[in-house]
């Protein structure tokens, strides 16, 4: 790696006339010289805590585990226990005109048979609303599924192919108009101008947060390297 560029006086994202104009770091709540617009970021590389997650499934756990750069391990409590971990407070919503980002790197210990898993954004404990990358039972295709008011729609089929104990890098970028879908950091699909609303639409408008879920058939686990969910906010 080459030597870093050094900005000895710092880097600001605000015009000098604003409160944070001489703050030597990017302003934490506003961006692009606009005091009313900012990016609210949640990112976890799992080096210190999983305390913000609630785990469902009898005797199931989400815990930090050994691994270079930090890892979290979702372990079902029994061989057929559907297990989920979701961020206790939702922090992003799809809003027309505002950007949204989601990124994760995960692997399942096994993918054969009727094992299934998904990772993405969900309305807390409710499965009624969300947008997630899902591997269905008896399949290795990872598809992008939107759920609004308990109605699920597959937006993109074959985003990636799951393999046992093999990491998948998956991501979304909503540019305020279109939804762009990524696998291994490369664009694989675009959903043009999805509608956003509370029911019967392509994307839900409710508040969402990171979620990971696995339905095992044996001692199957889901490892998460990192997860990010950020959104542009107009205040």
Domain ranges in the chain are: 7-38, 45-234
- Higher-pLDDT residue of 157, 14: 157
pTM of the model: 0.95
- Higher-pLDDT residue of 108, 23: 108
Half-sphere exposure of 183 (CA within 13 A, CB side): 17
CB 119 within 8 A of CB 106: yes
Q: What is the CATH number of domain 45-234?
A: 2.60.120.560
Q: Which residues contact 210 (CB under 8 A, 6 or more apart)?
A: 42, 44, 86, 87, 102, 104, 119, 120, 121, 122, 227, 229
- Residue 91: the pLDDT is 95
Q: Is the pLDDT of residue 104 over 80?
A: yes
Q: pLDDT by residue (tens digit) across 139-192?
A: 999 999 999 999 999 999 999 999 999 999 999 999 999 999 999 999 999 999
Band of the pLDDT at 235, cuts 50, 70, 90? confident
Beta strands in 71-221 (DSSP E): 71-75, 83-87, 100-108, 116-122, 130-135, 141-148, 151-161, 168-174, 179-183, 186-191, 196-197, 203-204, 209-215
Q: What percent of the chain has a predicted confidence (pLDDT) above 70?
A: 99
Q: pLDDT by residue (tens digit) across 27-39?
A: 888 776 667 888 8
Query: What integer is the mean pLDDT of 135-141?
Result: 97
CB 72 within 8 A of CB 223: yes
CB 104 within 8 A of CB 42: no
What are 4's two structure tokens? 């870093």
Cα 174 from Cα 196, distance rounded (Å): 12
- Residue 55: the pLDDT is 98
């Amino acid at each position: 790696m080459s030597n870093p560029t050094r900005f000895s006086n710092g880097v600001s994202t605000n015009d000098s006339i604003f409160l944070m104009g001489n703050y030597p770091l990017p302003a934490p709540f506003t961006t692009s010289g606009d005091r009313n617009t900012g990016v609210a970021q949640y990112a976890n590389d799992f080096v210190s805590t999983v305390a913000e997650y609630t785990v469902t499934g009898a005797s199931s756990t989400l815990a930090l585990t050994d691994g270079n750069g930090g890892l979290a391990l979702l372990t079902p409590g029994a061989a057929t226990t559907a297990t989920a971990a979701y961020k206790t407070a939702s922090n992003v919503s799809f809003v027309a005109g505002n950007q949204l980002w989601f990124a994760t790197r995960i692997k399942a210990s096994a993918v054969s048979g009727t094992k299934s898993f998904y990772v993405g954004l969900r309305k807390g404990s409710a499965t009624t609303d969300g947008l997630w990358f899902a591997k269905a039972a008896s399949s290795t295709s990872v598809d992008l599924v939107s759920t609004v008011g308990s109605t699920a729609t597959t937006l993109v089929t074959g985003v990636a192919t799951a393999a046992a104990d093999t990491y998948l890098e998956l991501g979304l970028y909503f540019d305020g108009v279109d939804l762009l879908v990524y696998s291994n950091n490369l664009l694989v699909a675009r959903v043009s101008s999805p509608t956003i609303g509370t029911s019967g639409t392509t994307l839900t408008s409710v508040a969402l947060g990171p979620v990971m879920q696995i339905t095992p058939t044996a001692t199957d686990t889901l490892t998460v390297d990192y997860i990010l969910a950020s959104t542009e906010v107009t205040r």
